[in-house]
Amino acid sequence: MLVLGIDTSCDDTSASVVENGIKTLSNIISSQIEIHKKYGGIVPELASRRHIEMIWPVVDEALTNAGIKLEDLSGIAVCHGPGLIGSLLVGCSFAKAICYCRGIPLVAVNHLEGHIFSSFLEDPGPSFPFLALIVSGGHTCLYMIAGFGKYRELGRTRDDAAGEAYDKVSKLLGLGYPGGPVIDKLAQKGNPKAIDFPRAYLPESLDFSFSGIKTAVLNFLKSKKESRVKGQQSTKQSLVSSHSSLVEPCDQCPVTGDKSYFSLSDIAASFQAAIVDVLVRKTEWAIKKEHIKRVVLSGGVAANSELRKMMKEMAEERGVEIFIPAISLCTDNAAMIAAAGYQHLVSGNIAGLDLNPRAYMPL
Ligand code: KG4
Ligand code: ZN
């Protein structure tokens, strides 16, 4: 069975052809980062307009790369939420129009369900039941997945998502958007123990909270700036630049030679350590609580090198199988929508042409 997946939930226009829910024949992603980065985040109106321009070329390329035509498709799977409503509308309207004209079955896929099913595109994929940690720019949640359509939420973020924390801290540090990849890279050169940023473990709960760490980083930067201003009176020299990037990359203070001077990479590594610690420990608690032997990690933040490493180590220690898709399948893509869409299709869960996207949608 060949399924065309379409995802336009956020800022990537993506289309993919997947065979039998497990084999990726093509996976095309048109990124909008260049459009949004000068604004420090996604501008919804610009995102929708770009989706309109790119949807047909991207779908066309996905079909061509897979070596198939529209008439070869068993179904079209489209992400109908959660996401930016204007962006979702483009993918949904496009999918409905093609399905109507060509008489192709339409299936509707929840974006989070797509992230979970991205793990089936790897060989070996997981078998049910498993625990899924989805960490992205919009979500941080833990689910027990007993089978297709049998999902139980164990915990979710009470405020910011992990990826959102990366993006906000990156903005504070003047590192631009998106924050995850740049902080990940910088952190590799830094000391994760340099600054003891708080970890919100929320005892007795599998919920998360990541808004505090952003404030902690901000307070840390402000305290550094204040001490710089005081120091300036004696040294008459600026240790840190005063524009949006408050701390310059440097291993020791360029003026006093002070080794306790914090570099940008130390801040990145310490921030990342706090986020990764919480994600790994909470997953470990959930493993113990649910007596589960398989874990899936997915979503954009699952591309993070430290999180991937620490999760693998924890899983090995606990004798648990871990499934982490390739980075290109962790960040937003349409192959995951096609993989989940295949499950809907074989279950006979066909959507009507009155399908409407929704910005907020529980799994
Ligand atoms: O899943 P995704 O592509 O889109 C959403 O559904 O939100 O996730 C995007 C998020 C962004 O916040 C981005 O900063 C983060 O994933 N991200 C990373 C890395 N690559 C992307 N976070 C940490 N480390 C990375 N290497
Ligand atoms: Zn996503």
Kindly state the average pLDDT of the residues 100-123: 98
* Binding site membership of 81 for ligand 1 (Cβ less than 6 Å): no
CB burial class (10 A; 0-12, 13-18, 19+) of residue 259? exposed
* Binding site membership of 137 for ligand 1 (Cβ less than 6 Å): yes
Q: How confident is the model at residue 262 (pLDDT cuts 50, 70, 90)?
A: confident
Q: What Rg, from alpha-carbon coordinates, does the chain have?
A: 22
Kindly state the average pLDDT of the residues 193-222: 94
User: Taking the model in full, what pTM does it have?
Assistant: 0.91
Kindly state the average pLDDT of the residues 185-191: 95
Q: Give the integer Cα–Cα distance in Å for 107 and 165.
A: 33
Percent of the chain at pLDDT exceeding 70: 90
Q: Which ligand is nearest to the CA of 184?
A: 1
Q: Which residue has the tokens 């061509």?
A: 64
CATH: 3.30.70.20, 3.40.50.10110, 3.30.420.40, 3.30.200.20. Which one for 140-231+241-323?
3.30.420.40
* Binding site membership of 166 for ligand 1 (Cβ less than 6 Å): yes
Q: Which ligand is nearest to the CA of 300?
A: 1
| Both structure tokens of 317 | 């220690």
2 alpha carbon – ligand 1 mean position (Å): 28
Comparing CA positions, the residue from 206, 178, 187 lying closest to residue 331 is: 178
Q: How high does pLDDT run on average in the chain? A: 92
CB burial class (10 A; 0-12, 13-18, 19+) of residue 330? buried
Look at residue 4 in the predicted model and tell me its pLDDT: 98
* Binding site membership of 300 for ligand 1 (Cβ less than 6 Å): yes
Q: Give the integer Cα–Cα distance in Å for 312 and 320.
A: 9
Look at residue 240 in the predicted model and tell me its pLDDT: 35
Of 79-88, 216-225, 243-252, the one with minimum mean pLDDT is: 243-252
331 alpha carbon – ligand 1 mean position (Å): 6
- Please report, for residues 137, 176, 213, 239, the alpha-carbon distance to residue 246 in angstroms, rounded to integers and kept in the order given: 24, 13, 17, 10
Q: How confident is the model at residue 30 (pLDDT cuts 50, 70, 90)?
A: very high
* Binding site membership of 179 for ligand 1 (Cβ less than 6 Å): yes
Kindly state the average pLDDT of the residues 25-42: 94
Please say if the pLDDT value at position 241 is more than 70: no
186 alpha carbon – ligand 1 mean position (Å): 16
Kindly state the average pLDDT of the residues 71-98: 98
Look at residue 245 in the predicted model and tell me its pLDDT: 43
Look at residue 351 in the predicted model and tell me its pLDDT: 98
Kindly state the average pLDDT of the residues 61-77: 98
150 alpha carbon – ligand 1 mean position (Å): 26
Please say if the pLDDT value at position 255 is more than 60: no
For a mutational test of ligand 1's pocket, the pick from 30, 112, 135, 301, i.e. the residue with the most ligand atoms closer than 8 A to its C-beta, is: 301
Our measurement of the distance from residue 338's CA atom to the centroid of its chain's CA atoms, rounded to an integer in Å, reads 18
Kindly state the average pLDDT of the residues 220-246: 53
Please say if the pLDDT value at position 234 is more than 80: no
Look at residue 224 in the predicted model and tell me its pLDDT: 76
Q: Give the integer Cα–Cα distance in Å for 177 and 168.
A: 9
* Binding site membership of 207 for ligand 1 (Cβ less than 6 Å): no
Residue-wise pLDDT for 131-144, tens only, equals: 999 999 999 999 99
Question: Is-same-fold flag (2-122+327-346; 140-231+241-323)?
Answer: yes
Kindly state the average pLDDT of the residues 359-363: 93
Contact yes or no for 114/339 (Cβ under 8 A): yes
345 alpha carbon – ligand 2 mean position (Å): 21
| Both structure tokens of 323 | 């499934």
Contact yes or no for 116/138 (Cβ under 8 A): no
Look at residue 229 in the predicted model and tell me its pLDDT: 58
Residue-wise pLDDT for 273-327, tens only, equals: 999 999 999 999 999 999 999 999 999 999 999 999 999 999 999 999 999 999 9
| Both structure tokens of 55 | 């949807």
217 alpha carbon – ligand 2 mean position (Å): 25
Domain ranges of the chain: 2-122+327-346, 140-231+241-323
DSSP bridge pairs for 110:
81
Look at residue 223 in the predicted model and tell me its pLDDT: 84
Our measurement of the distance from residue 1's CA atom to the centroid of its chain's CA atoms, rounded to an integer in Å, reads 28
Distance separating the N- and C-terminal Cα atoms of the chain: 25
- Taking residue 37's Cβ as centre, other Cβ atoms within 10 Å add up to 13
Comparing CA positions, the residue from 86, 187, 210 lying closest to residue 137 is: 210
Q: How confident is the model at residue 40 (pLDDT cuts 50, 70, 90)?
A: confident
* Binding site membership of 86 for ligand 1 (Cβ less than 6 Å): no
Look at residue 222 in the predicted model and tell me its pLDDT: 85
CATH: 3.20.110.20, 3.30.230.10, 3.30.420.40, 3.40.50.620. Which one for 2-122+327-346?
3.30.420.40
* Binding site membership of 75 for ligand 1 (Cβ less than 6 Å): no
Q: What does DSSP say about strands 75-81 and 2-7: parallel, antiparallel, or unpaired?
A: parallel
| Cis amide bond preceding 129, omega within 30 | yes
Ligand 1 atom 23: the closest Cα is on which residue? 180
Phi, psi angles (nearest 5°) of residue 77: -105, 125
Ligand 1 atom nearest residue 299's Cα? 1
* Binding site membership of 126 for ligand 1 (Cβ less than 6 Å): no
Please say if the pLDDT value at position 155 is more than 60: yes
230 alpha carbon – ligand 2 mean position (Å): 44
For a mutational test of ligand 1's pocket, the pick from 166, 182, 279, 309, i.e. the residue with the most ligand atoms closer than 8 A to its C-beta, is: 166
| Both structure tokens of 305 | 């090198």
155 alpha carbon – ligand 2 mean position (Å): 17
Look at residue 345 in the predicted model and tell me its pLDDT: 98
